[in-house]
Amino acid sequence: MADQTVEALVQGGKATAAPPLGPALGPLGVNIGQVVAEINKKTADFKGMQVPVKVTVKKDKSFTISVGTPPVSSLLKKEAIIEKGASNPVTDKVADLKIEQIIKVAKMKSDALLGKDMFSKVKEVIGSCDSMGILVEGKEPREIIKDINNGAFAEEIKTEKTELSAEALKKIEEQKKKLQEDLAKRRAQFETEAKQVIEQLSGQPRGTIKAKLVELKIPANIIEALLPAEAAPGAAPAAGGAAKAPAAGKKK
């Protein structure tokens, strides 16, 4: 029997015999417990992230495990210590990373990135920051890419610097807290404004109210959370709605 391969995405350090691994490995006669233990050992550094793994089972039931790296977005979230990117990355910023952290991610994903050199790969990773609402060195990702094109951070990228001082890490955490506070305040302001508009336009079609909210640049997730859904066609009228039609008169 030729070697057989099972590929799956598992949570770093927390793989189990449950799907997707268990059902795929069971028919191959390999010791699933040993496979899972080895995977968890190899992916321990990627806790909280989805990690691609490949299990190759040989004819004698021995196995080898190769571990890929999580997606760039997962690595960026780990560096930023956030659970998810911004709902609206254009207006909301959830973290601010240093160039050293970007270089670290670029090195980890080097084989999977399209760039020909580290400069190109760093800019590729920064491009992912743009879609997640993550700043780099306190600036919008597109601004940092322009700075790199003009020679900024050349030494750090050339030497592939990834180490950060304790002071730098402290500043990163402080900046993240500030961004989260700003985000909470901005959301509260949007919600207050949206509620006022919804109250003012009460009785108007939902589409009209939504158009006004969009015009005011209220985030889509807030609009959907606060704007009542429109009744489906043919639905029964709500209490206090239209009165019933009078019954037909009796013939004399």
Q: How many CB atoms lie within 10 A of CB 5?
A: 14
Amino acid at 70: P
- Residue 16 falls within a domain, yes or no? yes
> How many domains does the chain contain in total?
3
- Cα separation, 184 vs 83, whole angstroms: 16
Predicted local distance difference test score (pLDDT) of residue 245: 44
pLDDT of residue 23: 92
Same domain, 11 and 41: yes
Residues 188 and 217 both lie in one domain: yes
> Is 102 domain-assigned?
yes
Q: Has residue 159 been placed in a domain?
A: yes
**Among 13, 46, 67, which residue terminates a domain?**
67
Residue 183's domain comprises 178-226
Q: Report the run of H or E that residue 58 belongs to, with start and end.
A: none
Are 114 and 156 members of one domain? yes
Of 95, 252, 114, 248, nearest to 179 by C-alpha is: 95
Claim to verify: residue 83 and residue 19 sit in the same structural domain: no
Judge if 140 and 80 occupy the same domain.
yes
Residues 6 or more apart whose Cβ sits within 8 Å of residue 75: 49, 69, 105, 108, 109
**pLDDT 10s per residue in the chain (252 long)?**
578 999 998 988 899 999 989 899 999 989 999 999 999 988 887 877 888 999 999 989 899 998 888 889 989 998 888 888 888 888 888 889 999 999 999 998 888 898 899 999 999 999 999 999 999 999 999 999 999 999 999 999 999 998 888 888 788 778 878 888 888 888 888 889 989 999 899 888 988 999 999 898 888 888 888 887 765 455 444 444 444 444 444 444
For the domain that residue 93 is a member of, what is the CATH number? 1.10.10.250
Do residues 107 and 162 make contact, with C-beta atoms less than 8 angstroms apart?
yes
Considering the domain architecture, whether residues 157 and 125 belong to the same structural domain is answered as: yes
* Cis ω before 20 (30° cut-off from 0): yes
Q: What is the pLDDT of residue 1?
A: 58
Question: Where does a domain end: 164, 191, 207?
Answer: 164
Contact indicator for 103, 118 with CB cutoff of 8 Å: yes
Using CA atoms, how far apart are residues 101 and 174, in angstroms rounded to an integer?
16
pTM higher than the cut 0.85:
no
The CATH number covering residue 12 comes to: 3.30.1550.10
Q: How far is CA 143 from CA 123, 126, 129, 146, in A?
A: 11, 10, 12, 5
| 112 and 41 belong to one structural domain | no
